[in-house]
């Protein structure tokens, strides 16, 4: 049931093998635990451990640092495949690869890469601490502060809606080291969970993607040395902007995978469910609904893969990433909703899988840049001279 409707014929042999391996992992380990993890709002530790063992938490980390040595595009394929079965597990992998690992690879010095990438590839979950209570779409209105203390800093503030925060051992924390300079004072620090003053606060009780933890991170005068600055002092805004541009492609992949999962469930149901003496898939109205889902998913997938290929080729991709995230979230929302309708009354029950996918889809229009912010980005680039 979790297999794609069509083969991914545009992939290399190695990529097809990767997708097949991830699919098998999802069928054997993830699928049996999806309902329980959603109900209990936690990620089964054995699933997280297996993801590390398979190299899925360090996909494009170079082998010299203990990673899988694959590509950003490969990470997008994995995120998409995981989301077909459980978008919660997909976003755990997504944040690790497209935000945390990506930021350290791009902005870290050699010593930081050696220190942190090896941990992130082997057994340590990372999280990306940017959002705050008053700093969401207006990301640079953050109130977290880094006050100079000797040759280092003391970091104070509260971060909100932090994905992977409960399981994390590495925290990329954004704080303003020079508020007089506005956003040009924002600096990114690499912290770890055992540092005095860093605490995990309340865990959100969420509508969807419940197996993925979302928490508050509390910073109370955390002493930070200069070796933990990622990039340069005052360059944290560049780290945030450029990393999130790439992360949006990952969210697009998650939403495409979710929509594909919804279609696979709906297709199987319509071929089995009978009304008026025949399978409901034989009714033209149902056929058209499935066909529209299929067409929209194909278009969304192509948008995501196009953005990923452009990023990997070093070509401009900000517009393409915004389009991919916006459109794939629209498609996931529509397809998961239609899957519930095709199931009829059964779709409204938690005993059937499409109800969960319907709940999971909503976040795609919100995190890593809301729907409105994606449209603003697209419009700005469209109207630029």
* CATH number for the domain running over 127-234: 2.40.110.10
Q: Is the pLDDT of residue 3 over 90?
A: no
Which residue ranges does the chain devote to CATH 1.20.140.10?
238-383
pLDDT band at 215 (very low <50, low <70, confident <90, very high): very high
pLDDT at 188: 98
pLDDT exceeds 50 at position 2:
no
pLDDT tens by residue, 356-380 = 999 999 999 999 999 999 999 999 9
Read off the pLDDT band of 327 (50, 70, 90): very high
Ramachandran area for residue 35 (φ above 0: left; ψ -120 to 50: alpha; else beta): alpha
DSSP 135-180: BSSSGGG---EEEEETTEEEEEEEEEEEETTTTEEEEEEEEES-GG
Angle at 141 between CA 367 and CA 315, to 5 degrees: 55
368 is catalytic: yes
Instruction: Report how far residue 27's alpha carbon sits from residue 4's, in angstroms, rounded to the nearest whole number.
Output: 12
Residue limits of CATH 2.40.110.10 in the chain? 127-234
Residue-wise pLDDT for 16-31, tens only, equals 999 999 999 999 999 9
Q: pTM (2 decimals)? A: 0.95
Q: Is pLDDT above 50 for 5?
A: no
Q: Which CATH architecture has domain 13-124?
A: Orthogonal Bundle (1.10)
Q: Which of 1.10.1740.10, 2.40.30.10, 1.20.140.10, 3.30.428.10 is the CATH number of 238-383?
A: 1.20.140.10
pLDDT digits (tens, 9 = 90+) for 283-310: 999 999 999 999 999 999 999 999 999 9
What does the pLDDT look like over 150-184, one tens digit per residue?
999 999 999 999 999 999 999 999 999 999 999 99
What is the Cα gyration radius of the chain? 21
The pLDDT of residue 204 is: 97
- Is 60 exceeded by the pLDDT of residue 9? no
pLDDT score of 121 = 98
**Whole-number pLDDT of residue 385:** 77
Catalytic residue among 81, 330, 355, 368: 368
CB 146 within 8 A of CB 155: yes
Alpha helices by DSSP H, the chain = 13-25, 34-40, 45-53, 72-85, 87-94, 102-107, 110-112, 118-122, 236-272, 284-312, 318-343, 353-361, 371-383
Rounded mean pLDDT, 28-37: 98
Residue 271 structure tokens: 């071929």
Task: Tell me what the pLDDT averaged over the chain comes to.
Answer: 96
Angle CA 107–108–113, to nearest 5: 140
pLDDT band (50, 70, 90) for residue 4: very low
> What pLDDT, in 10s, does the model give residues 58-91?
999 999 999 999 999 999 999 999 999 999 999 9
Domain boundaries for CATH 1.10.540.10 within the chain:
13-124
- pLDDT tens column, 268-286: 999 999 999 999 999 999 9
Distances (CA, A) of 306 to 249, 313, 322: 10, 10, 12
What's the pLDDT score for residue 32? 98
| Widest distance between CA atoms in the chain | 80
- The answer for 283, left when phi > 0, alpha when psi is -120 to 50, beta otherwise, is beta
Cα–Cα distance, 259 to 294 (Å, whole number) = 9
């Amino acid at each position: 049931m979790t297999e794609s409707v069509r083969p991914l014929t545009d992939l290399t042999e190695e990529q097809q093998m990767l997708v097949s391996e991830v699919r098998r992992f999802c069928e054997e380990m993830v699928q049996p635990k999806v309902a329980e993890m959603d109900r209990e709002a936690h990620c089964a530790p054995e699933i997280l451990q297996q993801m590390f063992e398979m190299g899925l938490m360090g996909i494009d980390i170079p082998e010299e640092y203990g990673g899988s040595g694959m590509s950003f595009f490969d990470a997008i394929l994995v995120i998409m495949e995981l989301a077909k079965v459980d978008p919660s597990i997909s976003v755990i992998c997504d944040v690790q690869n497209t935000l945390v690992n990506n930021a350290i690879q791009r902005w870290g010095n050699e010593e930081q890469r050696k220190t942190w990438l090896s941990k992130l590839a082997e057994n340590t979950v990372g999280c990306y601490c940017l959002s705050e209570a008053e700093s969401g779409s207006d990301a640079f209105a953050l109130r977290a502060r880094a006050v100079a203390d000797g040759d280092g800093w003391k970091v104070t503030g509260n971060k909100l809606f932090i994905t992977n925060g409960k399981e994390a051992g590495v925290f990329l924390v954004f704080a303003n080291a020079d508020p007089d300079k506005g956003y040009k004072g924002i600096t990114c620090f690499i912290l770890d969970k055992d540092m005095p003053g860093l605490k995990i606060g309340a865990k959100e009780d969420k509508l969807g993607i419940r197996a993925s933890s979302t928490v508050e991170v509390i910073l109370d005068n955390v002493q930070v040395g200069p070796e933990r600055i990622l990039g340069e002092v005052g360059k944290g805004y560049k780290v945030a902007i450029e990393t999130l541009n790439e992360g949006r492609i990952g969210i697009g992949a998650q939403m495409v995978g979710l929509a594909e999962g919804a279609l696979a469930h709906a297709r199987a149901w319509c071929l089995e469910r009978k009304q008026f003496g025949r399978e409901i898939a034989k009714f033209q109205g149902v056929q058209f609904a499935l066909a529209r889902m299929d067409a929209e998913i194909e278009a969304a997938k192509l948008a995501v893969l196009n953005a990923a290929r452009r990023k990997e080729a070093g070509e401009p991709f900000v517009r393409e990433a915004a389009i991919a995230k916006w459109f794939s979230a629209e498609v996931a929302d529509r397809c998961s909703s239609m899957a519930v309708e095709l199931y009829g009354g059964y779709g409204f029950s938690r005993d059937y899988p499409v109800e969960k996918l319907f709940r999971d889809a909503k976040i795609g229009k919100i995190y890593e840049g809301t729907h409105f912010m994606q449209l603003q980005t697209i419009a700005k680039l469209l109207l630029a001279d």
